[in-house]
Structure 1
């Protein structure tokens, strides 16, 4: 497994990170027992993955706590988050949630603690009223680095993270980026490189990048919206030009994100051992041919209205 340094944190991290949220939640939502979910993580650790991302709302922190037992904690990078959408966020709720996360994870510190799903209208309040609590927790040794994540399906032009990178308060950011929506390249990644900020990518794999038939409909929809030039694609096989050595659309999706300048960790979530093995194999493969990368950049260069999951996305009413 390839590793890199996570920006100014100087943490050594695997290029693939285990995402403990998403539709699977390590298999909790597909019928796995807690023990089987923990085994998925152990399989990932054994394959060289040392980065795992979770949240107070995923109910997977206790599973991670089980899976890290008996392993060298200093070699595992744990990122957890406090949701900023589901209930009021105050210094007291941050302190309580961090305490619960440490208990659930069975550790005395987390490597990265992030404010999660921050929408633009909440950003100023969180900085003025909550950020100092995160600094205090860092001084106490409970967290090592402070992060922020965006609500990508509502903030597809990255307003929150653009502001966050201007303020330069955050050691790590989690950004939505994939083949179908590459807006983060200019909006986030270039500034992250300048500031030496660690970058986790979420949304690398979406429905349109895992289901070829849906991809055709999706491309047709984006052509209709004027975001893709019909002269650039074969409507019957939009990505048929890709090198024959690519294993699958997910394989292409992960490698495209992995090798984007400024990206350190790409999150991948599953509760299936075979699926996990295939994902690990993708991250171990060489870069995509440069001609394919440039064509993917060109085709989807103007897409701004979708994350690749649904044809109707955007801010909540």
Structure 2
């Protein structure tokens, strides 16, 4: 499988399994099945309330832990140093592992000490509890501050990105600074596959519209995707998106779709234009 690597320790399969909002046995079953089908990248977070379920799947799987890329995240209300450390310890205990492969700050904090939070994030990496570190849902201005002013050795940023939402400035910056960009909600919760342009391209190649939407992202340098899927059929279809042969005309048509449809923007979200 195609992998993304960075100079700061990231080595991540380009397709992962997103686990939100699955919990309990549904989540355990989906992760266990995904690993059996060939997935080697699992994405979770403390806020998903499913790290224990993911951990159970890891214990039940025949795939060795060292072959699995595991991402988790700390919630925005636990970004003080002691709280962040405890959050990761809780995650490691639930997941049944002594380290994660990528540890993200899930959302920017509110009235927080950014420098101390980033200092703690880096320390957790240096201590080996996270092989690589990153941030999620940071607008470009804040990401620039973390990289340029604080000098954090980030490996990745995770943001909503799909055929109906543009992230070109952020993607350009990530490439300039050797960060992978992981696209969550890569199918826009089904909206991307409903677009006639994407449906026409899928018919042209004899594939699913969802596979076209995923491959459009995967064809972009430095981009990974983490679609959520629980059924065997959908998990296999998402993996097979890597083999969809989009041509330049297909990519141009998808690039021409409106790019202003944000699906995820909770009340505590940052100013996306900052």
TM-score, normalised via structure 2 length: 0.84
Q: Which of structures 1 and 2 has the larger relative contact order (alpha carbons within 8 angstroms, sep 6+)?
A: 1
Give the 3-state SS of the residue equivalent to 2:158 in structure 1: strand
- Check if 1:282 corresponds to 2:236: no
Alignment of 1:87-102 (within 5 A): 87=77, 89-102=79-92
Q: Would the aligned equivalents of 2:31 and 2:57 in 1 still touch at CA under 8 Å?
A: yes
Q: Deviations over 1:9-46 (max 9, x none)?
A: 4543322111112xx42xx3xxxx52x53232122223
- Name the CA distance, whole Å, in 2 between partners of 1:315 and 1:160: 18
Q: Would the aligned equivalents of 1:209 and 1:253 in 2 still touch at CA under 8 Å?
A: no
Alignment of 1:1-317 (within 5 A): 2-21=1-20, 24-25=21-22, 28=23, 34=25, 36-69=26-59, 70-84=62-76, 87=77, 89-118=79-108, 125-150=112-137, 158-167=140-149, 169=152, 170-182=154-166, 184-185=167-168, 187-207=169-189, 209=191, 212=194, 215=195, 237-239=196-198, 241-242=200-201, 244-263=204-223, 265-283=224-242, 285-300=243-258, 303-304=259-260, 306-307=261-262, 309=263
**Which of the two has higher C-alpha Rg?**
1
- Name the CA distance, whole Å, in 2 between partners of 1:98 and 1:238: 43
Gaps of 5+ in 2: 270-274
Q: Would the aligned equivalents of 1:8 and 1:198 in 2 still touch at CA under 8 Å?
A: no
Q: How many residues align?
A: 264
- Name the CA distance, whole Å, in 1 between partners of 2:180 and 2:197: 33
Going from structure 1 to structure 2, the CA distance change for 1:62 and 1:292 (only over 3 Å counts) comes to same
Q: CA RMSD in A?
A: 2.6
Q: Would the aligned equivalents of 1:4 and 1:13 in 2 still touch at CA under 8 Å?
A: yes
Q: Deviations over 1:124-180 (max 9, x none)?
A: x443221222222223221222110006xxx6xx44435445445222111221111
- Name the CA distance, whole Å, in 2 between partners of 1:143 and 1:46: 25
- Name the CA distance, whole Å, in 2 between partners of 1:94 and 1:144: 16
Give the 3-state SS of the residue equivalent to 1:143 in structure 2: coil
Going from structure 1 to structure 2, the CA distance change for 1:164 and 1:176 (only over 3 Å counts) comes to farther
- Name the CA distance, whole Å, in 2 between partners of 1:162 and 1:38: 37
